[in-house]
Chains A and B, each alone.
Chain A
């Protein structure tokens, strides 16, 4: 069966520091991978998605970037965090025959 791992679960970082959130998927090949962000009490905003290794589509201009160095690995990064980057970040995967499956999320607080 397929599983998705996302870490860390919580993170507190100062403004201006770098960020790296990692997500890996097991049990499936060539999935579509997604990064969503959820502000407190709000809906989900799609940040990036990837249909294959090295292929990244950005949905909104922002301070973040994403990379997919391996088929089942998706990384969300920032060189310098802003206060507005605080939120709940969710990684997810999907293929043609499945709904979107989410990781447990990372709660990021930028101080």
Chain B
């Protein structure tokens, strides 16, 4: 079974509006972390936001917030006030456990296009 699922087709949003990018995950480990990365057309992977499984509050970083619903195993990324520069591929990822062997598993990504 996939550990990270991103099923939305290409997403479109009007500039200055908010958009939600969906991510569901599957793990039996009580300790895990969820990450979102942005990949513009240049190819670099840019870390956006992190949510730990024991964090009580949803993570926020500027215009990015993570809607963490633990019981539903979802970690959706919300981008407020979209900008043209937000057009990119977005990846959700999960790290299971906190040990030295922990590694990130990535979803297949979602393409976001911001319209002027």
Contact = CB atoms under 8 A, between A and B. Distances in A.
Contacts of B107: 43
A5 interface: no
Contacts, number: 48
B45 interface: yes
Interface in B80-116: 91, 93, 95, 98, 100-109
Nearest to A107: B43
Interface of A (DSSP majority class): strand
B47 A105 contact: no
B43 A104 contact: yes
Contacts of B106: 36, 43-44
A46 B105 contact: yes
Contacts of A107: 43
B101 A51 contact: yes
A58 B7 CA distance: 28
A102 B45 CA distance: 6
A100 B107 CA distance: 15
B44 A49 contact: no
Contacts of B50: 99
A44 B100 CA distance: 21
Nearest to A100: B104
Contact of B35 (A32, A99, A104, A105): A99
A7 interface: no
Contacts of A90: 45
Interface of B: 35, 37, 43-45, 47, 50, 91, 93, 95, 98, 100-109
